[in-house]
Amino acid sequence: MDVFRRTVTPEARKAEVLQVATRSPHRVAMVLALDKSLGDPKVFHKFVMQDSTTVAALLTTMRKRLVMKLTDGQSVFVFFRKHVGKTVTDTLVPLTWTLDAARAAHASDDGILYVFLCGENTFGAT
């Protein structure tokens, strides 16, 4: 995610968001990154999804589409990372939220919704 922000200029990021908004007004532009426990943190994935999609459906889609190093005792948490100036905030939201609500609350200053998937050992696994 930070790789994306370093390699793509703010003007180009805003232009991408504007292009998505004009082509598909009911879609959300997202950049997704994985925690080092799930994959390579230097790799980012760009997605455009319906704004009525819930965070739970997003998580299901990401589990199907992305190759993650997920073990039996690991669960995945979805964080939304908001960049405003030099301030970065990670927020865990309810799975029932729609992407439109997440975008309204947690979109960065460039208009992109940054999604961060983090794996954590649970269920008594070591």
Q: What is the pLDDT of residue 1?
A: 60
* 44-52 contacts at long range (C-beta below 8 A, 24 or more positions apart): 44/1, 44/3, 44/4, 46/4, 48/20, 48/24, 49/99, 50/26, 50/99, 51/26, 51/27, 51/98, 51/99, 51/100, 51/103, 52/26, 52/98, 52/99, 52/100
| pLDDT tens, position by position, 2-47 | 788 888 898 999 999 999 999 999 999 999 988 887 888 788 888 8
Instruction: Write down the domain spans for the chain.
Output: 2-89+107-121
Whether the predicted model's global pTM rises above the 0.95 cut = no
Q: Which CATH class is domain 2-89+107-121?
A: alpha beta
